[in-house]
Amino acid sequence: MTTYEQYPPYTYVDSPLSRPGPDEWWPEEMPSYAIDPAADIQQRMILILLLAVIVVFGFGTWAVRSTGNSAPATENTAAAEEEASAPVAPPAPAAGGIAPLFTAEIQHWAPQIVAWANEYGIDPNMAATVMQIESCGDPNAVSSAGAQGLFQVMPFHFDPGENMQDPDTNARRGMAYLSLGMQQTGGDTSRTFAGYNGGHGTAAKPWDQWPNETQRYYVWSTGIYKDAVAGSTSSETLNNWLAAGGAGLCSQAAARLGLQ
């Protein structure tokens, strides 16, 4: 674990999660993007591909009627359908393995985030989203509830004698809990985010039974992650989180990491 001697052994997290935000950010019911962002993008791509097949098929039919030669058109249409139905390769990862929209404090940990996430079968952008909101990369952050380190893991998740603020130890415990959430929600990243904040039992309940903090966590995490998966270079949701108090948390992390 890196020691930053010019600072106290830990710093308290002044999290924007404890503050109410603009009214328009808090829907009365489950937001429409409760579906896994990655699945949502795949569905849109499939719809576009289907439309392309219809257009190609229509053009082929017109060509057959125009030339009176149906064999070539049929072959071309079959080839087009095969090409359109081929799996689409995922976008290439950003430099460092996480999307470029995350703040400099999170980019500082990019190689480690990728390694930690891969060990537990988690999308690195999902892990980066959690770190962004939880600590903004401050390895010694401590919440008023006692949550520790980069991923703000509660003490009861550690074994006796473990250094809760050691980045590797903290990440293993955080990724294990995140991975468990993915298993329990059937891969629903949105509810897994909610469960990371409010507990997996909370994530299984209806939206109106979630604590306000969990609702805010859901809105921020799902929005940031959706932008990251889409390959965006910026995120309006992340900007709103920063404006709601996250900027102070990141400033604290930057000082801790020597990035200022």
Q: Tell me the per-residue pLDDT of 146-178, one tens digit each, with 9 for 90 and over.
A: 999 999 999 999 999 999 999 999 999 999 999
pLDDT value at position 128? Answer: 98
pLDDT at 19 over 60: no
Percent of the chain with pLDDT over 90: 62
pLDDT at 138 over 50: yes
| Mean pLDDT confidence for 196-203 | 94
pLDDT band at 91 (very low <50, low <70, confident <90, very high): very low
pLDDT at 230 over 50: yes
Average pLDDT of the residues of the chain? 78
State the chain's maximal CA–CA distance in angstroms. 83
pLDDT band at 260 (very low <50, low <70, confident <90, very high): confident
pLDDT at 35 over 60: no
Exposure on the CB side of residue 72, measured as CA atoms within 13 A: 9
Just give the CATH number of 96-257. 1.10.530.10
| Mean pLDDT confidence for 27-37 | 52
Percent of the chain with pLDDT over 70: 63
Does an H or E element contain 139, and which?
A: none
pLDDT at 1 over 50: no
Segment among 68-82, 168-182, 194-208 with least mean pLDDT:
68-82
pLDDT at 131 over 60: yes
pTM of the model: 0.70
Angstrom distances, CA of residue 94 to CA of 56, 59, 74, 100: 33, 38, 41, 6
pLDDT value at position 69? Answer: 41
Token code pair at residue 116 = 């930690």
What is d(CA 229, CA 36) in angstroms, rounded to the nearest whole number? 10
Angle at alpha carbon of residue 85, lines to 84 and 86, rounded to 5°: 95
